[in-house]
Structure 1
Amino acid sequence: MSLVVITDWLADTGAQQHVADLLPAVTEAALIEPGVLSFRVVRSLRDQAAFVVFAEYEDEHALVAHRESAPYQRLVLAGITPHLIDRQAEAYALV
Structure 2
Amino acid sequence: MAYVVSAKWTAKEGEAQRVEEAIRKLVEPSRREPGNLFYQPHRDPGNPNLFYFYEQYEDEEAYEAHVNSEHFQKYGFGEAIPLLESREREFYETMDV
Shorter-chain TM-score: which interval? over 0.9
Q: How many residues align?
A: 95
Match of 2:4 in 1: 4
Q: Distance in 2 between matches of 1:50 and 1:43?
A: 6
The alignment's TM-score, normalised by the length of structure 2, stands at 0.95
Q: Deviations over 1:40-92 (max 9, x none)?
A: 00000110000001110000110111111000000000110000001000000
1:81 aligns with 2:81: yes
Q: Distance in 1 between matches of 2:21 and 2:73?
A: 16
Q: Distance in 2 between matches of 1:87 and 1:2?
A: 22
The alignment's TM-score, normalised by the length of structure 1, stands at 0.97
Give structure 2 stretches of 5+ with no counterpart. none
One-letter amino acid of the structure 1 residue matched with residue 90 of structure 2: E
Structure 1 runs (4+) greater than 4 angstroms displaced: none
Equivalent position SS for 1:71: helix
Match of 1:28 in 2: 28
Equivalent position SS for 1:5: strand
Alpha-carbon distance, 1:17 to partner? 0.3
Equivalent position SS for 2:46: coil
